[in-house]
Chain A
Amino acid sequence: MKLIRATMLVLAGLMILPAAWAQEKEPPLPENLPAYGPLVPFRGPQVVQKRLANGLTLWMVPRPGFPKVSFAIAVRSGMASDAQDRPGFSKLLMDTIDQGTKTRNARQIAEAFQRDGGDLTGGAHADFTVMMISVLASRASSTLDTLSDVLEGATFPNNEVALVKRNEADSLRAAEAEPSFLASRTLAKEIFGGHPYSVTSLTQASIAATTPEELRHAYAIRFRPDQAILVAVGDFDADTMTAEVQKALGHWSAPAQPPLASASQPAENNPHGVFLVPRKGSVQTAFLLGAFGPLESSGDFEATEVANAVYGGMFGSRLVNDIREDKGYTYSPGAYVEERREAGVLKTSASVRNAVTGASLNEIFYQLNRMATTSPEPEELTRAKRYLTGIRAIEYQLQGAVAQRLASLWMEGLPPEEIGEESAKIQKVTAAEVDQAGRKYFPASRQTIVAVGKQSVIQQQLEPFGLTIQPVE
């Protein structure tokens, strides 16, 4: 299956960048601009919740009109459940799960989904793995039939596993040419230390060592109805869909073995220092900074999201205005709130010209510390809250986005109604709460810094910060 190359869900901090960027300073906005119009937040859907006798959780959102149905199927085990000597194994599992069943070969599976108007995509996250497919509503029952085959009868044929392994080895080589891949891999390793969350990708050794038997064994233990959810969003009737799911997946049974244990909460003691990933001939330094933030279930999650939007999580944020609009150090800086089941991480990313490597980190630190020591202007808070509310209204128009969000809520142990309450919670955030989140999570001294680029440039330009600079693979 086509693997979505995200290692975790980015829950907030979606940025919309205009396609073109004019270098010259914009003239000030005219006076007497119309006031903000009324805010129209996303209205949460009625989520019909069922549980089949075999333990499969089913969340449905019937949305008539648009003639498609989106399915998300998630199981509660991911890369954090992989054996220590098989980092990234879950990715291979998702790559091979649709490569053959007792009744269909890989080509027949792909063609069956295409006949329904869909493509099966998948992602291995830290705490769960998820498959997504959007099909014509008239073909939804056929899709469920093929999905049930993949969920219950995958055979992991030796030749298909061998091909996936060869291609993943080459894809990993290709990914290692990308600064963003190297930065993410190193940051997770340094932030989480020995915790299973430190793994975000495969290694050549784990690809080489994985056998078809290991994949079959893991599939039997992990793909089980009592640890799975099926989310359906789209043009269907809930009773009919329930009957279709019962027919397709009602006979799916859980193995006798207990499910794999989920990850424990990691210790929040990430190092404050620079980890330098040398990249010969690089003309940019790719920065990725990270520090622990709140869990999504935590009371200060929304305030942190608002603080993050003011800081760097939206286009008109301080960081973007500073190092992109004002100084022109970088094209697309950003700040993100990333959630795993047992850990939240605040991230800052910016790829900057070699010559301004030190100057850029100085600005990033300044903007972080500004969040920690001063209060945002009321106008900044209004803009951030409206942005976070508006982006949800836009995003959740799409069936697939709703299906994916519901699957991730289930994974984090949160109720489906949360999807409709996010905007109200954001609107309720007070200035004092944003100050607290800023002080708690944003100080530059909490950050682990990864810099990918030319070694001599990074060492020389970051030396004045007085941090340890440690070259890593």
Chain B
Amino acid sequence: MLAVVGDVTPDEVFQKAQQYFGSIPKRPVAAKPDVAEAPQKAERRSVEADKLARVPALAIGYRMPPRASPDAIAGAVVGEMLHNGQASLLYQALVKQKKVALEVDGGANWPLGSPFEYGGPALMTSFIVYPPGVAEQDVLNAYDDVIQNLAANGASQAELQRIRAKMRSDWYAELEIPVERASAISHFTLLDGSPTRINEIPEQIAQVTSDQIKAFCRKYLVKTSRTIIDRVPEALRGKTMNAAKGGR
């Protein structure tokens, strides 16, 4: 798959592709290996010490639906509702209201790429940097409240409108960069067999409903299918490990 975007004409590109790549002989295509993972049955947690870090951070990862699943697009929207900017649910709850975090970032397929460019197993990851004086469990409790609330109540019409606008705008911003546009076209071609899906993403996002968001949270954002890593400065380790044990 070769995608070319920019100040070129199709004729010129096809001619050059023929000239430089046409002589490569055709080969049989290797069978696609099965990289599916066995379902996760229980929450996994660990604490790691960091010699040089000054503040602790948490990473929480949930298994995402396969690409072809109709749930995948709801997962993309949920990931952005939770993590996208200062208006996001996690930023507002953890940083602003409960004051248990300094920074929140994440999303479906974060930080590897956009929520639309994974083929095999993928995660929704939340990355939370939190103040040294706050216990890991307090961060997790605040986090779980947000997830449970979204699973129970879904998104209001105003919230849906906002996230649709933001995701449309972000999608355009990605496509504004020619090499990203080429990359997106090649991913959609390889993974979906459809280069034009690049044009359908904003519409697909706009069709996700509050009910789908609730259903997604209940099915995928569950404790048994998540892994939590707490990385703490070595000096704080004893304290935070005890807090983590207390939370089990």
Q: Which A residues contact B (CB, under 8 angstroms)?
A: 1-2, 40, 66-68, 106-107, 110-111, 113-119, 134-136, 139, 163, 166-167, 170-171, 173-174, 176-177, 279, 281-282, 397-399
Contact = CB atoms under 8 A, between A and B. Distances in A.
A281 B54 contact: no
B239 to A, nearest CB: 16
A67 B84 CA distance: 21
B168 interface: yes
Interface string B30-68: 000000000000000000000111110000000000000
B176 interface: yes
Most buried by B among A113, A117, A135, A139: A117
A143 to B, nearest CB: 11
Contacts of B155: none
Interface stretch (B85-93, B138-146, B192-200): B85-93
Given A107-B87, A111-B87, A167-B102, A117 B176 contact: no
A163 B51 CA distance: 27
A438 to B, nearest CB: 33
B95 interface: yes
18 contacts: A107-B92, A114-B84, A114-B87, A114-B165, A114-B166, A117-B166, A119-B86, A134-B173, A166-B99, A167-B102, A170-B132, A171-B103, A174-B53, A174-B102, A174-B129, A177-B52, A281-B51, A397-B176
B165 A115 contact: yes
Interface of B: 7, 51-55, 84-87, 92, 95-96, 99, 102-103, 129, 131-132, 161-163, 165-166, 168-170, 172-173, 176-178
B102 A136 contact: no
B165 A171 contact: no
Contacts of A397: 176-178
Given A2-B86, A163-B96, A173 B169 contact: no
Which of A114, A119, A134, A282 has the most chain B CB atoms inside 10 A of its CB? A114
A118 to B, nearest CB: 7
Given A115-B161, A136-B165, A177-B54, A163 B87 contact: no
A66 B178 CA distance: 12
- Top 4 closest A-B pairs, CB basis? A117-B169, A110-B86, A114-B87, A110-B87
B96 A68 contact: no
A308 B12 CA distance: 35
A71 to B, nearest CB: 13
Contacts of B99: 163, 166
Contacts of B131: 166-167, 170
Contacts of B52: 177, 279, 281-282
Given A114-B87, A171-B102, A177-B54, A67 B96 contact: no
A94 to B, nearest CB: 13
A118 B102 CA distance: 21
A119 B85 contact: yes
A68 B51 CA distance: 44
